[in-house]
């Protein structure tokens, strides 16, 4: 039997393409569709006194961000590292102090596979659950923005990208 870890990730990615998830005037993450899904996952884990759902959601969203980075960098004829450098510079120029951690997760996945990205996710959760939830929100929003860019800049329908991600994530479902 497998644990369908890709299904909650796909729900989160669908929420991340909703423009309402990118509102800058939200008073809290709970006001965003992505924030509500992440919070519901955290509450379900708390009810079970665990963190399985959040761990799977974090890992799946990071894997989606990794794959989307490969795709968008290739389409822009850039190396993934150079693309991530440009993201980090843009977020720094905006004064965003939280998004660079999401970039670090993706970057570390390129340097040593998924283990380094997972290490950042785990250490962030151990340090602060709130910081982890914010990191997850940033990763989801990055995925949503990238999916939208693939459609608007390169003509790849969002549904095609979502299906490709679903297939890739389904292939990585873990045994229960």
pLDDT single digits (tens) 103-134: 989 998 888 777 777 888 889 988 998 899 99
The reported pTM is 0.89
Decide: 117 and 109 in contact? Cβ < 8 Å: yes
The residue extents of the domains of the chain are: 6-170
Closest CA to 94 of 39, 171, 24: 24
- Residues 133, 138, 144, 149: what is their CA dihedral angle, to the nearest 10 degrees? -170
CA-atom Rg of the chain in angstroms: 15
Q: What is the distance of C-alpha 55 from the center of its chain?
A: 12
Cα–Cα distance, 29 to 38 (Å, whole number): 9
pLDDT single digits (tens) 33-52: 999 999 999 888 887 787 88
């Amino acid at each position: 039997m497998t644990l369908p870890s890709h299904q909650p990730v796909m729900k989160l990615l669908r929420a991340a393409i909703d423009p309402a998830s990118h509102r800058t005037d939200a008073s809290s993450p709970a006001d965003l569709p992505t924030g509500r899904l992440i919070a519901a996952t955290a509450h379900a884990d708390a009810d079970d006194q665990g963190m399985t759902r959040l761990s799977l959601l974090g890992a799946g969203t990071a894997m989606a961000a990794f794959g989307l980075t490969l795709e968008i960098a290739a389409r822009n004829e850039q190396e993934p590292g150079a693309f991530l450098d440009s993201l980090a510079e843009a977020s720094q120029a905006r004064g965003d102090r939280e998004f660079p951690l999401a970039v670090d997760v993706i970057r570390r996945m390129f340097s040593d596979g998924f283990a380094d990205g997972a290490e950042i996710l785990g250490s962030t959760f151990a340090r602060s659950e709130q910081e982890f939830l914010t990191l997850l929100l940033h990763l989801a929003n990055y995925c949503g923005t990238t999916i939208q860019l693939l459609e608007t800049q390169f003509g790849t329908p969002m549904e095609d990208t979502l299906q490709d991600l679903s297939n890739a994530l389904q292939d990585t479902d873990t045994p229960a």
